[in-house]
Amino acid sequence: MALVVQEYEDLSLRDVEDVERLAKRVVTARQDGHRLIVVTPPDMPPALRGQTVGTGLDEALTALGGEVYAPPLARLSTLFAADRAPFGLAGVLRPVREALARGAIVRISRPRGDQADTVAHPARAGTHAIRLAAAFKADICEVYTSAGGFHTADPGLVPLARPVRTVGYETACELAACGAGTLTPRDIEIARQHGLTVRLRPSDTTTACTDPDIGDGTLICAERRQTCGEQCAPAGITHDLPGIKVVLAGPPNSAPITAQMIRALADTRAGLLLAACGSRPAPAPDQPSNTTLFLTGPTAYIALATLEDKCTSLGVRILPSPKPVGRISLIGSGMRSRTKNVPLFCASLAAAEVTLEMVTATESRISALCPAACLPRAVRALHTAFSLDRGPQPG
C-alpha cells in the first residue's frame, strides 16, 4: 500500500466537473489500497458557486464514500517555510499520520501567496507536494499541471516537441533552472535528497496510476545506468523569458567590484544567469575591464536600479542593453565531453541567423545569450539540429 502525495495547479481545477473528476481519481486510488495526501489550490473559482476548491472536493469525496481529513493550514506552515527542511516535526505530522492510518484521505489547501513564511513560488504546483512527500516519506509524489511534464522543447514554439518520459534528478534540475518551468530547482533538489520519485502528469488525465514504472507524463527519479549512447544524449531545449544584459565598465582589477555587485543583487532576489569578467580581449592589469551580467526574473528591473545606485558609489559606469536578451540552452548529459555538440550548437544557430553574444558549456548543458526576438527561431533550429523531433522519445 503506497503513500501518494498529489498536488494540482490552479488552472487544473476550474469548475465543478474538474473537481468531480479529481474526486473520482482520488477515491479510485484509495479503493486500490493507497494512502493519499491531496494538495489543492487555495483560490475560489467562480464556477464553484462560492466554494473553495478544498470545500468542493471534500463534498465530492464524501459523496463517493471517502473519509476526508483537512488539517488546519497553520499547523503545516512550518513544512512550507522557505528556509526550513522537513525534519523534527513530529507534532505536526502525527495527526496526519493517524488520519492516514484509519483510511482517511488527507486534503490540504496550498497557502496563498500573501501568507507569511511560505515558499517563494506559492502558486507553482509541486513545491508543497514535494515538501510534504519528503516529510511523510511518501512512495511517490504526483504533480498535475496543464503542461503534463517536461518536453523536448516548448510545444507552443515547436509543434514536433515530444514528452520526456523519464529523467534523472540532475537533468531535471537543469531543465527547471533553464526555463522549463514545471518545477523549481529547489523542489527537485529536495526530491533528490530524500530519494523521492516524482511524476509530472497532465491535469486532464483520467487514470489513477501510482506505479512509477508506467503511466503518462514525466517520471523524475534516480539516474539509471546508461549506455554509452545515452550518456551523450540531449534531453531537451529550454529558453528563458527575456532578461537584461548589463555591462559594467569598471576600473582596473574589477573582480572585487563584481563581487560587491553580485552581493547587492542577492538582496533583490533577481536571477543572475551569467557573469563574465574581463570581457575585453586581454586587458592590461592597469587598464579598465568590463564585466557582463545577465539578469532575469520579475525583479530584474529592481536589480538594475540597485546596480545603478551601487555603481554611482563605486565609480563604475553601467551600460544596459537597449534590447531584451534571452538565453537558450541544450540540456542533457555529456554535452561538453562530446566534442561535436558545441560546434553543432553554434553552427545551427548561425544558419538560423541568430546572433550569439555569449556561449557557455558544462557537462549537463550548453547555453547562449541571443536577442529575445530570436528565441523562437533559435529553439526550432536546435530542436531539429539535435534530432529531437524524430526518433525514440527521450527517457
**Mean pLDDT for the stretch of residues 273-286:** 53
CA dist 145 and 360 (Å) reads 31
Examine the pLDDT at 116 and tell me if it is beyond 50: no
Examine the pLDDT at 59 and tell me if it is beyond 90: no
Range picked from 70-84, 251-265, 269-283, 358-372 for highest mean pLDDT:
358-372
Examine the pLDDT at 357 and tell me if it is beyond 60: yes
pLDDT value of position 279: 47
Say which residue, 35 or 77, is predicted with more confidence.
35
With cut-offs at 50, 70 and 90, classify the pLDDT of residue 66: confident
pLDDT value of position 77: 60
Buried b (16+ CB within 10 A) or exposed e, 183-199: bbebbbebbbebebbbb
CA dist 190 and 109 (Å) reads 21
pLDDT value of position 319: 78
Q: List, in order of start, the domains of the chain with CATH numbers.
A: 3-147+182-224 (3.40.1160.10), 244-320 (3.30.70.260)
Q: Which of 6-20, 168-182, 267-281 has the lowest mean pLDDT?
A: 267-281
Among candidate residues 10, 64, 17, the one with its CA nearest the CA of residue 39: 10
**Mean pLDDT for the stretch of residues 348-357:** 93
Q: Mind listing the pLDDT tens digit for each residue in 202-231?
A: 887 766 555 555 567 899 998 765 554 455
CA dist 246 and 275 (Å) reads 10
Say which residue, 200 or 47, is predicted with more confidence.
200
What is the residue whose three cell numbers read 558609489? Answer: 313
With cut-offs at 50, 70 and 90, classify the pLDDT of residue 117: very low
Share of the chain above pLDDT 70, in %: 75
Written as one letter, the residue type at 216 is D
With cut-offs at 50, 70 and 90, classify the pLDDT of residue 122: very low
With cut-offs at 50, 70 and 90, classify the pLDDT of residue 43: low
Average pLDDT, the chain: 79
**Mean pLDDT for the stretch of residues 112-137:** 65
Sign of CA dihedral 313, 314, 319, 321: negative
pLDDT value of position 234: 87
pLDDT value of position 376: 95
pLDDT value of position 341: 92
Q: Mind listing the pLDDT tens digit for each residue in 182-196?
A: 788 889 999 999 999
Examine the pLDDT at 9 and tell me if it is beyond 90: no
With cut-offs at 50, 70 and 90, classify the pLDDT of residue 44: low
